[in-house]
Structure 1
């Protein structure tokens, strides 16, 4: 049965109204997300910055610090962003110059599917960033993939790294994890392809998840889905990396004081691999945190910051 002109007009009007409402809801959602991020950044005392170098865009967070302040450079993990460090930064002393950068392919930095993203290439990109940002010597902290990049960076540029903190770092897989079992079954809980996958990712990556309100989770889910293709590309290169070079040899070339910090409930990379890191890095020590998964700086930011500060104070005491 054909609809009357008035019914057709009503239906069209309803669809327009519905689409307008959805658009408005989306604008409100993203507006709330930006307000929340502004609040988190203000609590951490950092502001968003960016720079261009070698034709690539780098987004980063930076605080205000004295010109002679020691710098801490923070590198996030796969599929993450600089914002992963915000609550951790809150608990660091204001006397440090803090820089948290979005690695290429992540966050608000360039996402170019035509360039390589393996660990040694990412080291080169970080090097380009540090030179452009004027960072000549710093304490380097990295989580997961960022930990592998940090390790290789410290090995290749020893004069620039004062100390190294590796938080659930990638690169060594002597002890297998639940992720490897999932990958063998054709599953990858680290990549979000549909809305319900975001909750799966959070449950898998973290043992002690922080509360994240709806507008934030909704926007993060949409951003993760939008990045599926680039994350697939990067992850494939990370898997290939495991066969391309001996990462254990890289660790033997790390000479700076190193702390290996790991969440005992990590399902992404087995915490027992900390033994390998501390065995191969000469001047290193480890700390295992109970009840925490793959992202201690998110799950237990105050405790993680406290541990790293104790480590850095010990280094200062050793220097006299």
Structure 2
């Protein structure tokens, strides 16, 4: 059985050195809540901004490889979702995707971003879908990587079971134990030791309260229903070895969105970390096509 290596001193130094190019920032919104984020701002004013939304066990720092490449041609921003990093949690103990989408709108307003390419990974896809359904004019293109579909369409028993299992695991293990137990599932057998350490490092930094709120979101959201309300450009991609949001599950999301699923070889759930070249190429191609949709 494979094990997840600890982040040794050299790996940690390398990661932190790369992150220093994109330091964490914080902005206060009109609602008196804070959002922390990382950004690289290219001088290319013709390209639409790219906004990146991370999954339940991650954060803004996970996108550094995409910053390094895509930031050369466009403004790229990644937030720490409410309850992650230094971002203020949403108010509800059992929030809906719309609660996070409301904060996303406020954040984009505060940064002066009227229209963007919106990318959601895993849980981030639920927030992205909820935002696009209500504010379609703000989204030139919606790219979903290994999207979580949510359990909103399932029975109450299924929703409660999925929620309670994850909450119990969080309570038992805490962030460090969660990273030890769950990070292996995030990657394929082809992942490098550095990618494994990176995923573990990001997951170990989650804040229990924010993770618990996101668990409630996951239990009650219904991505397919939100996508049915959005008429803009959508693309869906998944790693062939993703065992969390499997290719079959993502195929159903792609069908609901009226698009074809892209399947990436030699990649698992956190494909953009372990196979950055392949995923960054997918993102770049989608962004360049979306640039033509600058107007509503």
The residue number in structure 2 matching 1:160 is: 138
Is 1:281 aligned to residue 257 of structure 2? yes
Query: Is 2:217 the counterpart of 1:234?
Result: no
Cα separation, partners in 2 of 1:257 and 1:194, compared to 1, 3 Å: closer
2:265 corresponding residue in structure 1: 290
Partner in structure 2 of residue 25 of structure 1: none
Distance 2:77 2:131 in 1: 16
CA distance in 2, matches of 1:299, 1:133: 30
Q: Offset at 1:168?
A: 0.5
Look up the match of 2:174.
193
Q: Which has the higher contact order (CA 8 A, sep 6+)?
A: 2
Shift in alpha-carbon separation, 1:210–1:185, aligned structure 2, 3 A = farther
In 2: Cα distance, 1:218 partner to 1:205 partner: 9
Question: Which TM-score applies when normalising by structure 1?
Answer: 0.73
Equivalent residues in 2 for 1:192-271, closer than 5 Å: 192-193=173-174, 195-207=176-188, 208-212=190-194, 223-224=205-206, 227-239=207-219, 241-242=220-221, 247-271=223-247
TM score, norm. by length of structure 2: 0.79
Question: How many residues are matched?
Answer: 276
Residues 139 and 186 of structure 1: is their aligned pair in 2 closer, same or farther, counting only changes over 3 Å?
closer
Return the match for 2:35 from 54, 58, 61: 58
Q: State whether residues 210 and 298 of structure 1, in contact with CA within 8 Å, keep that contact through their aligned partners in structure 2.
A: no
Aligned pair partner of 1:300 in 258, 272, 275 = 275
The answer for unaligned runs of 5 or more in structure 1 is 1-28, 175-179
Contact map agreement 1:113 1:230 (CA 8 A) in 2: no
2: distance between equivalents of 1:218 and 1:312? Answer: 29
SS at match of 1:142: strand
1:172–1:273 contact (8 Å) kept in structure 2: no
Which one of 93, 96, 107 corresponds to residue 129 of structure 1? 107
Aligned to 2:102, the other structure's residue is in SS state: helix
Instruction: Tell me, yes or no, if the aligned pair for 2:272 and 2:279 is still in contact at 8 Å.
Output: yes
Tell me the distance in 2 between the aligned counterparts of 1:193 and 1:70: 38
Shift of 1:149: 1.0
**Superposition RMSD in Å:** 3.6
SS at 1:288 equivalent:
strand
Aligned ranges 1:111-190 → 2 under 5 Å = 111=89, 116-171=94-149, 186=165
| Aligned-pair CA distance for 1:164 | 1.2
Larger-gyration structure (1/2): 1
Alpha-carbon distance in 2 for matches of 1:213, 1:311: 24
**CA-CA distance at 1:52 after TM superposition:** 0.4
| 215 and 266 in structure 1: CA distance in 2 versus 1, 3 angstrom threshold | closer
Q: Distance in 2 between matches of 1:209 and 1:100?
A: 23
Residues 139-175 of structure 1: CA deviation (Å, up to 9, x unaligned): 011101101111121121111111111001112569x
Matched, 1:91 2:66: no
User: Which residue in 2 is equivalent to 1:272?
Assistant: 248
Deviation at 1:247, TM superposition (A): 3.8
Cα distance, 1:89 vs structure 2: 2.4
Conservation of the 8 A alpha-carbon contact between 2:187 and 2:274: yes
Cα displacement (A) at 1:127 = 0.8
In structure 1, C-alpha distance between the alignment counterparts of 2:204 and 2:271, rounded to whole Å: 24
